[in-house]
Amino acid sequence: MSLYDGLMNASNIYISKNKSSSSRVFQLRHRHGDIGVRRAQKFQYLVKHISEHNPDRLREFTYAYLNQDRDQIQRILGLETSPNIDRSRIAVANQEAFTNYLLDEAVEIVLRGNDHRNSLRNYIQRAYDNYAFQAEYLEEDEKVLDSDGYSTYKDEDTSSYIAYENLGENKSDSNHAKSAHAVEHYYNSECDQHFFVKWLDPLDSRHRRIAEQNNMIAEVVYANIWRFLIGNRASQSKLVLNENGAIEGICSVGLPGFTPYGNLNKIDKEQTQGLIPILIAAYLLAEDDLHIYNFGRMNEGDEYCFGKIDHDYVISHWQEYTRQESLSRKFPIDTLADLLDETNTHPYNCLSKLLDMVQTLRFNPAHANARALCLGHSLRSQASSGSRPVTTTSRDLGTILRLGFSNDRNGKRTK
């Protein structure tokens, strides 16, 4: 969010909370009335004027307002600071003088008030703090949102399918079934890409086959939403077509240099960037399969960052989610809105709220998972002779990950 949007949003919220008592005698709590509303409206007038005529100085104006620096505000607005000028007398002379008169009046009104926690100044302070935090930690070339709030990420490969012959050589061995579905590993040396394929079961009934094909199409869409949010740090899903153009399976395009979190050493876990955007997107998209082998370290140019793979869980459990209305109960949007509220939440308090939020995930990556879940996955791994790893989060892994959160770089990577 731009500074302009943050200031306007904060002042609008301040105005909307006008609940002043009609009697000063019974106004025991600090609640602004019409005077406070007028002050906020004058503040918005000044913000709009500066954004239109001198947008590069909006941050400087906000800082001067918070510090009650009248002279600096007048310099930014291009007003004379001499107290002997009566602008009301010359206001009718020309439009410029009239505008200056209105600006002078607005400055006078805006600089009144106090520093109470419910004051306009405090609302603007929180909006300014949040903007300053973003300006410090989000570099210009790492932004994924344009001025209108839409993603600027452009996927170079927009194809949603791949022909079977383009998968390359089958690299699978007899011990490749390491997920809930049999997955085959293919490698195309020409494009240097790895593909992990789940095939339709040829023994399935026609009804079952159609249902699975629909699920595969939904998974491709779901993966594209992930890529819209975090870019190429989410693996791409493609439908695998046979020579007749019919869907035979679905593949996940391997992320470059991907190593699951469960296989990383302690140093790599602590130093790899960009986990917080993945956790926020997981909550938003109701991803309840974010275990330690579905996210990990990947190459992004000359750097390393966290990436996300395997997007099929929410699709395969969609009917269960919708039938029990568990999505709205388990992933209430108000919780995420509270975390991302740029006027009511100080940015440095976001970490604790994020940790609270991810506790709703089935595989909570920040804490040791429930004993029953850990036991079940341990027994499943033993039954498969170790071919399916234990995907739950241990106490040690949770501790390391929480320490990694304290590293600002985990929130820095957004693209």
Residues 6+ apart with CB under 8 A from 311: 219, 222, 223, 226, 234, 235, 237, 252, 287
pLDDT of residue 172: 81
pLDDT of residue 126: 79
pLDDT of residue 102: 81
Residues 6+ apart with CB under 8 A from 246: none
Q: Rounded to an integer, what distance in angstroms lies between the CA atom of residue 43 and that of residue 30?
A: 20
pLDDT of residue 258: 95
pLDDT of residue 415: 42
Q: Rounded to an integer, what distance in angstroms lies between the CA atom of residue 270 and that of residue 344?
A: 30
Residues 6+ apart with CB under 8 A from 241: 161, 162, 163, 164, 247, 248
Please answer whether residues 266 and 400 qualify as being in contact, where contact means their C-beta atoms are separated by less than 8 angstroms.
yes
Task: Give rounded-to-5 percent helix, strand, coil for the chain.
Answer: 50, 10, 35
| Entry pTM | 0.55
Report in angstroms the alpha-carbon separations of 82 from 68, 91, 105, 109, 387: 18, 16, 14, 18, 81
pLDDT of residue 2: 80
**Which helix (H) or strand (E) segment is 400 a member of?**
helix 395-405
- Measured between its terminal Cα atoms, the distance across the chain in Å is 16
Closest C-alpha among 250, 215, 257 to residue 236:
250
Closest C-alpha among 122, 111, 44 to residue 74:
111
**Which helix (H) or strand (E) segment is 237 a member of?**
strand 236-241
Q: In what order do the strands lie in the sheet with 295-300?
A: 259-260, 295-300, 303-308
How many Cα atoms are found within 13 Å in the side-chain-facing hemisphere of 224?
16
Residues 6+ apart with CB under 8 A from 138: 412, 414
pLDDT of residue 54: 87
Q: Rounded to an integer, what distance in angstroms lies between the CA atom of residue 84 and that of residue 86?
A: 6
pLDDT of residue 349: 63
Return contacts of 221-228, CB within 8 angstroms, 24+ apart: 222/285, 222/311, 222/314, 222/315, 223/252, 223/311, 224/155, 224/160, 225/285, 226/281, 226/285, 226/308, 226/311, 227/153, 227/155, 228/151, 228/153
Domains in the chain with CATH codes: 3-137 (no CATH), 161-253 (3.30.200), 262-412 (no CATH)
Q: Rounded to an integer, what distance in angstroms lies between the CA atom of residue 337 and that of residue 284?
A: 10
The list of the chain residues with pLDDT below 70 reads: 1, 18-32, 80-95, 98, 133-158, 173-181, 323-326, 342-352, 362-415
Closest C-alpha among 370, 235, 242 to residue 310:
235
Counting beta carbons within 10 angstroms of the beta carbon of residue 275, is it exposed (0 to 12), middle (13 to 18) or buried (19 or more)?
Answer: buried
Q: Parallel, antiparallel, or unpaired: how do β-strands 295-300 and 193-199 relate?
A: unpaired
pLDDT digits (tens, 9 = 90+) for 261-279: 888 888 888 788 888 888 8
**Two structure tokens written together for 334:** 């108000």
